[in-house]
Amino acid sequence: MPKVFITRAIPENGIELLREHFEVEVWPEEREIPRDVLLEKVRDADALVTMLSERIDKEVFDNAPKLRIVANYAVGYDNIDVEEATRRGIYVTNTPDVLTDATADFAWTLLLATARRLIEADNFTRSGEWKRKGIAWHPRWFLGYDVYGKTIGIIGFGRIGQAVAKRARGFGMRILYYSRTRKPEAEKELNAEFKPLDELLSESDFVVLAVPLTKETYHMIGERELKLMKETSILVNIARGKVVDTEALVKALKEGRIAGAGLDVYEEEPYYNEELFGLKNVVLAPHIGSATFGAREGMAELVARNLITFKNGQIPPTLVNRDVVKVRKPGFEER
Ligand code: NAP
Ligand code: GLV
Ligand code: GLV
């Protein structure tokens, strides 16, 4: 049986499926797999299951003479040098769709929690400060921003961006979006308006980032863009940390040039930034957008289905690098 190495303990349903078709080895520890261990483990691997935190590049491929497929346990694949993989005839797959709703729900979790200062309020309650104050209710406490009926601007109108818009309809919002290409069908279905980026930024009360990280989207939101946003607006980032210039964001938050930010992703992960973390008007999550039981099991199943389909000589269902088919047919050589 071909060998698959899995760099972190994914949900058991995926591992069980894979065991029927592969010799499976899993990096069992909770910490990140050390680079040298990864480079050692791939030596013998026909297939690799990777996390978004592992850089899968030329060096990994150089160490992996038998490697034919990399299945990323994530929809984003900015951690993988896809061009290099294609050149070498290595298939790359990701996990779209199965995590769309969970991630869109989480964008909304951040949006609402930031707008209504939920974390500050929770700290106030559980720390005993409320009780110490001895006042049951105050008309000027914890004032936040209205959400219902406001304007949301979604940057990157793909699977997750559109799912965020779907939810915004229930909140009676005006929906603006900016994306690389216009989406006439989604515009109709979701009652969304296309806007150039600058207009979207200046008109929105909530700006949600849902683009992939690419050369074009790196620091797409910087000082200039933050200046275009309203002083009462909130930025939500569930895309990738590097889409935002963090230094510029911290400055804008400190100076009150925007009202707040809800972040799930950071320029480096794990992340710590005293200046940012010291601010009250931010809600910070440790990259948990897809962290539901359902989404994570769906991702594990999809990873397994991609590998099993490939093993059967067929094109995996969520192949990222379509051109690889011209370089090598799907399937493992007999060993
Ligand atoms: P998707 O369906 O591919 O949507 C991405 C959208 O962004 C597409 O509509 C795309 O192009 C647009 N886009 C790409 N480059 C752009 C650019 N330069 N300017 C403007 N728009 C651009 O992907 P998805 O499934 O929605 O996922 C989006 C991203 O979310 C992933 O890549 C990942 O990084 C991130 N994510 C994060 C979490 C988390 O845990 N926080 C979970 C899942 C995903 P078109 O306009 O041409 O269609
Ligand atoms: C998570 O960030 C993903 O890209 O799946
Ligand atoms: C608040 O609890 C209210 O009744 O207005």
Confidence of residue 149 (pLDDT cuts 50, 70, 90): very high
What mean pLDDT is predicted for residues 262-288? Answer: 98
d(CA 329, CA 313): 7
**Contact criterion met (CB below 8 Å) for 150 and 172:** no
Instruction: State both tokens at 222.
Output: 């910087």
User: Mean pLDDT across the stretch 33-51?
Assistant: 98
pLDDT in tens, 190-202: 999 999 999 999 9
DSSP conformation class of 120: H
pLDDT, position 97? 98
Query: Closest ligand 1 atom, CA of 102?
Result: 42
> For 51-62, what is each residue's pLDDT tens digit?
999 999 999 999
Residue 153 has pLDDT above 60, yes or no: yes
The Cβ of residue 281 has, within 10 Å, a number of other Cβ atoms equal to 17
Determine if the peptide bond prior to 270 is cis (ω within 30°): yes
Does any ligand 1 atom lie closer than 6 A to the CB of residue 241?
no
- pLDDT at residue 181, as a whole number: 97
Angle between helices 293-311 and 100-115 (to 10 degrees): 150
- Does residue 109 have its Cβ closer than 6 Å to ligand 1? no
Mean per-residue pLDDT, 255-266: 98
pTM: 0.98
Strand, helix or coil at 114? Answer: helix
Percent of the chain with pLDDT over 90: 99
Note the pLDDT of residue 333: 81
8 Å CB contact between 73 and 80: no
- Tokens linked to 193: 């308006």
74: Cβ–Cβ under 8 A, 6 or more apart, which residues? 51, 52, 94, 95, 290, 299
287 an active-site residue?
Answer: yes
**In the chain, alpha helices (H):** 12-19, 35-41, 58-62, 82-87, 100-115, 118-126, 129-133, 159-170, 184-190, 197-203, 223-228, 246-254, 274-277, 293-311, 324-327
The yes-or-no verdict on residue 335 having pLDDT over 90 is no
Return d(Cα 240, Cα 209) in angstroms, integer: 8
The letter for the amino acid at 287 is H
Across 86-114, average pLDDT: 99
- Residue 159 reports pLDDT greater than 90: yes
334, pLDDT greater than 90 = no
Q: Is 219 a catalytic residue?
A: no
pLDDT tens-digit series, residues 295-314? 999 999 999 999 999 999 99
Spacing, Cα 132 to ligand 3 middle (Å): 21
Specify the residue for token string 């996990």: 95
User: 99 CB under 6 A from ligand 2?
Assistant: yes
Question: CB–CB of 200/176 below 8 Å?
Answer: yes
> Is the shortest distance between the CB of 289 and ligand 1 below 6 Å?
yes
Catalytic residue chosen out of the listed positions 189, 231, 269, 275: 269
301 part of the active site:
no
Tokens representing 102 are 């969970």
